[in-house]
Amino acid sequence: MNTSSNSLLSYDRQYSAFYEGCGLADLSARGLVEISGADSLRLLHNFTTADIKALADDAGTETFLLDARGHVVFYVFLFRRGERTFVQSAPGTAPRLIAHLDRYVIREKVTFRDAATDYAQLLVAGPRAEQTLKAAAVGALPQAPWSSSELMFDDVGVTAGRSLWTIAPNFTLFVPKSAAASVRERLTAGGAVSCDESVLEAARIEAGLPIAGLETSEKSLAQELDRIPQTISFKKGCYLGQETVARLDALGHVNKKLVGLRIAAADRTAVPPAGTELKSGEAVAGTITSAAWSPRLAAAVALAYVKTGSNQIGKRLTSTSGEAEVVPLPMV
Boundary (domain end) residue, out of 177, 203, 229: 203
- Residue 42 inside a domain? The answer is yes
Which residues are 193's β-sheet partners?
23
Angle between helices 129-136 and 180-189 (to 10 degrees): 120
Positive or negative, the Cα torsion across 282, 286, 291, 296? negative
- Residue 110 inside a domain? The answer is yes
Same domain, 293 and 183: no
- Given this model, what pLDDT does residue 8 score? 60
- Residue 250 inside a domain? The answer is no
- Residue 4 inside a domain? The answer is no
- Given this model, what pLDDT does residue 134 score? 98
- Residue 246 inside a domain? The answer is no
1 has a pLDDT exceeding 50: no
- Residue 46 inside a domain? The answer is yes
- Residue 226 inside a domain? The answer is no
Same domain, 260 and 133: no
Indicate the average pLDDT of the chain: 95
- Of 3-7, 117-121, 277-281, 300-304, the one with minimum mean pLDDT is 3-7
2 has a pLDDT exceeding 70: no
Residue 38 burial by Cβ neighbours in a 10 Å radius (0-12, 13-18, 19+) = exposed
The bridge status of strand 148-153 relative to strand 156-162 is antiparallel
328 has a pLDDT exceeding 80: yes
- Amino acid at site 8: L
3-state secondary structure 24-76: EEECCCCEEEEEECCCHHHHHHHCCCCCHHHCCCCCEEEEEEECCCCEEEEEE
- Residue 238 inside a domain? The answer is no
Instruction: Name the residue among 48, 41, 19 with its Cα closest to residue 206.
Output: 19
* Helix or strand holding residue 16 (H, E): helix 3-20
Q: What pLDDT, in 10s, does the model give residues 64-120?
A: 999 999 999 999 999 999 889 999 999 999 999 999 999 999 999 999 999 999 999
9 has a pLDDT exceeding 70: no
**What value does the mean pLDDT take over residues 186-194?**
97
**98 and 178 Cβ atoms separated by less than 8 Å:** no
Q: Which residues does 230 contact at the CB level (< 8 Å), separation at least 6? A: 61, 62, 145
**What value does the mean pLDDT take over residues 141-163?**
98
How crowded is residue 281: how many other Cβ atoms within 10 Å of its Cβ? 9
* Helix or strand holding residue 121 (H, E): strand 119-125
Same domain, 74 and 174: yes
Same domain, 186 and 260: no
Residue 3's pLDDT band, with cuts at 50, 70 and 90, is: very low
Residue 274's pLDDT band, with cuts at 50, 70 and 90, is: very high
Same domain, 263 and 161: no
**318 and 306 Cβ atoms separated by less than 8 Å:** no
Domain residue limits at 31: 10-203
Same domain, 266 and 159: no
Q: What angle do CA 196, 330, 45 make, to 5 degrees?
A: 90
The count of domains in the chain is 2
Which CATH number belongs to the domain containing residue 78 in this structure? 3.30.1360.120
Which CATH number belongs to the domain containing residue 275 in this structure? 2.40.30.110
The per-residue DSSP string of 74-85 comes to EEEEEEEETTEE
Prediction pTM value: 0.94
197 has a pLDDT exceeding 70: yes
Same domain, 44 and 119: yes
- Given this model, what pLDDT does residue 5 score? 44
- Given this model, what pLDDT does residue 269 score? 86
**What value does the mean pLDDT take over residues 247-256?**
93
Same domain, 100 and 194: yes
Residue 199's pLDDT band, with cuts at 50, 70 and 90, is: very high
